[in-house]
Chains A and B, each alone.
Chain A
Amino acid sequence: MSKNKNTKIVMDKDGIDRCLTRIAYEILEKNKGMQNLVLVGIRTGGVYLAERLQKKISDIERDKIPLGILDVTLYRDDISVSNKKSRMGGTKINFSLDDKIVVLVDDVLFTGRTIRAAMDALIDFGRPKMIQLAVLIDRGHRELPIRADFIGKNLPSSLWEAVRVDLVEKNGVDEVVIEEGI
């Protein structure tokens, strides 16, 4: 990706994979298996990570864990003129969430506003027994009382930096990058 800005790679392909493997085991450990467990990835980065977690968990448990896709655009409190007209991908949750343990998956946990929107959206789909949150990167700076249950890496960052998760599925490379001066 762009090397012209002041960028630093903080996690590479193997690092991402090891984090996801650990998170997959932690999810199963905390919930004592995959009974009633479903994954919901938040568009767009969270979807690819959720797909990878689905594969890992399904391999470990030898049974396929359901996966849904959530587009939170319509639930955001910060849609602005600049981003509201971006193309939406749509939500696909083809199973009931009633009494399920839902693990929300996203790439970066930052202000918490995306997760707030995602929880509102999930509750419109049913009444999950529990909602848990798995993120690859927690960069701090929360604006809402939200925390993750499963974290790949805590990455203290300044507000002047941008944290970007590149994934093969969308950017052709697996890495986590800090960019300075946004």
Chain B
Amino acid sequence: MAQYFTLSDYSMSLPIILLTLFALDILLIDLWIPIDRKWFNAVTAFVGVLVSAAAVYLRIQRPLDAAGLPAQTAFMNAMLLDHFAIYFWYLFLAGAAIAILMSVRYLEIEHEHHGEFYALILFSVVGMMCMAAGIDIVLIFIGLELMAISTYVLVGFLRTDRRSNEAALKYLLLGAFSSGIFAYGLSLFYGLTGSTNLVVIQNRLAREMAGQAHANPIAVIALLTTATGLFFKIAAVPFHQWAPDAYEGAPTSMTGFMSVAVKAAAWAMLLRILIWGLAPLRPVYVPLLVFVSIATMTGANLAALTQNNLKRLLAYSSIAHVGYMLLGLVAGDAHSPMADGIKGILIYLLVYTFMNLGAFAVITSLRQREVIGDELDDIAGLYSRAPTEAVLMLIFLLSLAGIPPLAGFYGKYFIFLSLIESKHYVLASLAVLYAVFGLYYYMKIANAMFMREALDKTRLPISLGMRTALWISAFATLVIGIYPEPFIRAVNWSLGIAQVGPVASLVR
């Protein structure tokens, strides 16, 4: 019988274990906390995120660098801890931390301040970490389901709100359906190659493809079904219908969390599967990506123009951003993805985390006892009600639109650059054209904030947690925009082993 897990496996997954412990802890402690002290759960969750981040640094990043290893596998090659995984882990933890800060006051206003909210956020981060670090499709799928199920519950967390219930039900049904299709595609790959490990799948697919003009039709079907599942999870256009509804109905702080961390996790999974596992099928999936990204940019940007609900508008804008990011995967010739494109995707996800959470933080703070606060009219005249927040919101909006001195510019810059370098001129011009559409609907919000009269003239109260979240996001958006050097270096570092060679030698 083979050898089982060793101590180093557990040490490698320590951040995940710690998060799980904190989540269980919150569930238990919450039972004995009186209703007016529920903020304590948020503190526990926040500490849990910090402890987990410290564990990532001390137990994984530093030993890896000290040993000079590019990566290490754990749990019988199911988990690959490389810089790519560590990068995404930090991203998820940052997203979760900001979302927790945003939620405290909001949940009090909604009268739904339960510890389960924070426990579920931590559980979903555990799932995301498994997705980013998984190199075995079984682990990736379990991580995906853990994340998705936690998110379904979080979307429907406002139990007395019909919109929230409707959103959760739609999300659950469509999500379960797409997970089924995704699992079907993965099972076909298992049938084709006889392994669940992405590296082995890649080697065997490459061997089978060698010397053949066309891909095996079953491999193409498997690719289509797998890609359908992946596109659903990142909400690319033919499979995006759930996103605006789920984003609109979900608690606003949760919408922010979904649009950054959940989406980043889906991207980590997509990159792992498409670049690692299915690399030999790249000539087949590139045309598919081109089609989906054009459809995504067109559909989402046109739909966003007419929205009057802020959450719906940002939902469509987040779909549009997915369209730009998909272009990063298209760049490169038919056989090798271009590093610049992947770099662009990673930078995009990093800056998107902060600017989008920041924008959602401002929308979250509009929710008051009597005001739902997610319509365009509710943000009107924000400058007179809360000048600092209005200016910060303007920064986030300009960054989302990709205006140069701000972070959002660098995401778009690297992706468009990689497109031009790989001679996809038409795609690059299309993307730039659609970025102008984006500027229009973001400025529509800015116009309402600064040019219109407020319906409700009272000063907007901003809680301490919210203020911290806003400042962290704004600080990150500005710093990445003005001094991007260390972040670009971090992305290069995380992609240091994105080439398949060294990884393949690690997993035999």
Binding partners A and B: no
Chain A positions near chain B (C-beta within 8 angstroms): none
